[in-house]
Chains A and B, each alone.
Chain A
């Protein structure tokens, strides 16, 4: 089992719809979670991070974290064609030891928003 697993894609939604991207993680030591957007041929760009259970909103993006279920999600409201990209979920630990500061990335979910 991968440490960070994202819902299989690709995901296609119409413009204006809500896109829902999901991620599960197996390491209960993971405490911080990040969503990156990666356009084709470009480097990942950090768009959201969440450390506490619950929801965190930033503009059209909402990140949700449920540590009991080991589940992270990203909602994109009013999806636009410019949101079409690969979305990477990543988990990290704040504890000491060899994993400190390292992120474990999921395989990514390709999102296409069609007009």
Chain B
């Protein structure tokens, strides 16, 4: 069972505001991921991290940034929110096991930018 938390669960914010979406996991997983998903659409990887001080951009270009100062914490920041950032943001974590990397997802943050 995965213990991965995201806050806030829902956020409505005006254009131009700076926002930080929080993601924490208590499993000591080295690898963490951020996905973006619009309703009824595919998951898109926007950032990932293989450990402390390691961050990489994902397959989908995003104006957001991430940091990984502690193993358990992987926040995502938008410096200036725009309506095009309206989406669901999902955080996940994994650790290597024999055969693969099972990713476990947090509950998500639904962001609406007005």
On A, residues with C-beta under 8 Å from B are 31-34, 36, 42-46, 49, 51-52, 88, 90, 92, 94, 98, 100-103, 105-108
A101 to B105, CA, bound (A): 14
Q: Is the CB of A44 within 8 A of B43?
A: yes
Contact flags B90-113 to A (C-beta < 8 A → 1, else 0): 100010101111111111100000
Contacts A43-B107, A43-B108 given; does A92 touch B43 at CB 8 Å: no
The smallest C-beta distance from B25 to any residue of chain A, in angstroms, reads: 13
Question: How many residues of chain B have a CB within 8 Å of chain A?
Answer: 23
Residues on A with C-beta less than 8 A from B42 are: 105-108
Q: Is the CB of B43 within 8 A of A105?
A: yes
Contacts A101-B31, A105-B43, A108-B42 given; does A46 touch B102 at CB 8 Å: yes
The smallest C-beta distance from B45 to any residue of chain A, in angstroms, reads: 7
Closest 3 CB pairs of A and B: A32-B100, A51-B99, A43-B105
**Which of chain A's residues has its CB closest to B49's CB?**
A101
Residues on A with C-beta less than 8 A from B56 are: 98
Contacts A43-B108, A108-B42 given; does A101 touch B90 at CB 8 Å: no
